[in-house]
Amino acid sequence: MLKHFLPDQHVKSIFEITPESLKEKGIKGIITDLDNTLVEWDRPSATPKLIGWFEEIKLSGIQVTIVSNNSENRVKFFSDPLGIPYIFQARKPMRRAFHRAIKEMGLKREETVVIGDQLLTDVLGGNRGGFHTILVVPVAQTDGYWTRFNRKIERRILKSFRKQGKLNWED
C-alpha cells in the first residue's frame, strides 16, 4: 500500500522540470497541482518566472492542465489569464479528474506526468491512475488547515521510506 505514496521523481522546484527532460520520457502533457506546487497557496496569480516557465513548456508542444482541489474561483482566477485549462474541486486522490484531464488533452496516461507537492493527494492519485509522478517541495512553508493535517501523515510516510532506503533526496 505504501508504494502508492512513492513518487517516481522528486524536485525542489517546478523550474527544475524542463521540456527537454519531459520529452526524453515521451511526455506530451502535464497535470499539475496549483497551491504550493506552482505558487504559494495564498498567492492569487502567477509570478513572472512561472509565466516564463509555462511559455517555455507550451512552445515545446507540451500541454498543461491544472487539477486542483480548490474552489472554482481560486483556480479560474489563476488559470484564465494564462490560458491554461483547469479542473477545480478535483477530489484528489480520486482518479476521475486525472482521467478527465488526459481525455481533454487527447493524451494517454503514459504520455502524461502528474506534478504536485502532496503525497496524499497528487502522488497517490497520480500513482493510482498509472501516471509518472513528480513530487515538488512546497513553495510555501505554511498551509491551509487540511493540508497541515496531511503534512503530518506525509512526514511519517517519508520517514518510513527513508528507513527502507527508498528515498535518495534530502528535505
pLDDT at 42: 87
What grid cell was written down for 64? 498543461
Strand partners, 112: 29
* Main-chain dihedrals φ then ψ at residue 12, nearest 5 degrees: -80, -25
With cell 519531459, the residue in question is 22
Domain 2-163 CATH (choose: 3.40.50.720, 3.40.50.11390, 3.50.50.60, 3.40.50.1000)? 3.40.50.1000
What grid cell was written down for 22? 519531459
Closest CA to 109 of 136, 133, 84: 133
Q: How far apart are the first and last CA of the chain?
A: 23
Evaluate whether 134 touches 39 at the Cβ level (below 8 Å): no
With cell 478527465, the residue in question is 100
Query: What are the pLDDT digits (tens) for 137-161?
Result: 999 876 666 677 777 888 888 888 8
Q: What is the mean pLDDT of the chain?
A: 92
Question: What is the residue-level pLDDT of the chain in tens, covering all 171 positions?
Answer: 678 999 999 999 999 999 999 999 999 999 999 999 999 988 999 999 999 999 999 999 999 999 999 999 999 999 999 999 999 999 999 999 999 999 999 999 999 999 999 999 999 999 999 999 999 999 987 666 667 777 788 888 888 888 887 776 655
Give the residue extent of every domain in the chain: 2-163
